[in-house]
Structure 1
């Protein structure tokens, strides 16, 4: 059963095409990295898939009612604004809103979802801290935990590991890969192609709003694609501890 289906999804701003006829499906068990240079259309694809931007073509998520969509997919935008000085636990609990009966407080199953998200993101020591008093990286992890607490089959995240230190970047990608192993799916945009190669089951490569590669990391991250799309050379090798990928030099 597909968790996201796009058919000829296109976005135009003014007279300029930003996204052109994207067709793809996301299945349970996939951790998909959405990659491409700045301005390639990654954020536009995620937002259009959710129905947050005017688009042509078909997105089954965009066609849902807001209430149904909130049960089908969790969304973590690139913006990381925390408006209210609430505790970390309270902020993460906002992810349970789609599941709560009107006027109800947190039920045991909701609290369990919050606790699980806190544990997954390593936030136990910050649980009672005021969210607005945290560092930028800590706030990012709290917002990821809020999306996890929503417990949807699909998670869409726009550059969630940007600004995190290396340990938390790796830990977060491990969490996403773990969700896929549990039968859920993650579609995450990111610029760290080394982490994408190690933790994603599939990569979608965009260039100028078009999908130019779709497949496992070793199929997508070819020397030809890296030169054509990113303008760089790169090193790729499968090792005993997993794939190792590193961009090397800008090509003339």
Structure 2
């Protein structure tokens, strides 16, 4: 599977010469305060924001890839999802197969099993709770089996159970050899599930590295403007504002 690299990405007013690499088999977490550039970076990685710099998917420049190939190899789970029609869950998930021009039942069933929504397959998506819907939207992206999965705050506004179910599904997808990049606000979740972290502030990449390298109490306190306590030896790890 291919990793994803971004070199000297500049989006005026949003990103300032950001360079990083996300590796196959790992989950990279983007962390930082509101407005730090996490969503802008994800959309730049997906080729949805005009920018200077380069985005590479494996050994190919994203801008040079045919659109069908790009759609098959790179999946984006946006921050807000909504169905305009009262579609069945199975039909929503099957939309993830559009780049492949098929409705592969094995891929669709596999995606629903990964996030535990197979029991809802015949229900209308608008009859589900927010947490159940969040898992359906993730299943839709998984059904396309992209090499790289980008997720923008997929656990936002969910209760504890659904937060961990989504995080576990993303981590499992990475462990299968794919590349996962996810924007997160919950630093304890980031410490528990991510292999690498990238800390952003005001559109700049402050530091990227392992969980232990990035989740430094002094650095986090400076970036977030609040006294932060970090205990990575705890099981699970804990990062809290004092």
CA contact (8 A) 1:19 1:45 kept: yes
Shift of 1:79: 1.4
Shift of 1:2: 4.6
CA distance in 2 between partners of 1:225 and 1:111 (Å)? 47
CA distance in 2 between partners of 1:245 and 1:219 (Å)? 15
CA distance in 1 between partners of 2:2 and 2:233 (Å)? 30
CA distance in 1 between partners of 2:56 and 2:174 (Å)? 20
Matched residue count = 236
CA distance in 2 between partners of 1:244 and 1:231 (Å)? 21
Counterparts of 1:118-197 in structure 2, within 5 Å, are 118-197=112-191
Instruction: Find the counterpart in structure 2 of residue 71 from structure 1.
Output: 72
Higher relative contact order (CA 8 A, sep 6+): 2
Structure 2 unmatched runs, 5+: none
Counterparts of 1:16-95 in structure 2, within 5 Å, are 17-60=13-56, 62-63=62-63, 64-95=65-96
CA distance in 1 between partners of 2:181 and 2:99 (Å)? 20
Q: What is the aligned counterpart of 2:241 among 237, 242, 248?
A: 248
RMSD value, Cα: 1.4
Instruction: Find the counterpart in structure 1 of residue 5 from structure 2.
Output: 5
Shift of 1:60: 2.5
Shift of 1:126: 1.0
CA contact (8 A) 1:93 1:146 kept: yes
Taking structure 1 as the reference length, what is the TM-score of the superposition?
0.89
Structure 1 unmatched runs, 5+: none
Taking structure 2 as the reference length, what is the TM-score of the superposition?
0.93
CA distance in 2 between partners of 1:176 and 1:143 (Å)? 12
Q: Please give the per-residue CA displacement for 1:74-107, whole angstroms capped at 9, x wherever unaligned.
A: 111111111111100010001011112xxxx52x
Runs of 4+ deviating beyond 6 Å? none
Instruction: Find the counterpart in structure 2 of residue 216 from structure 1.
Output: 210
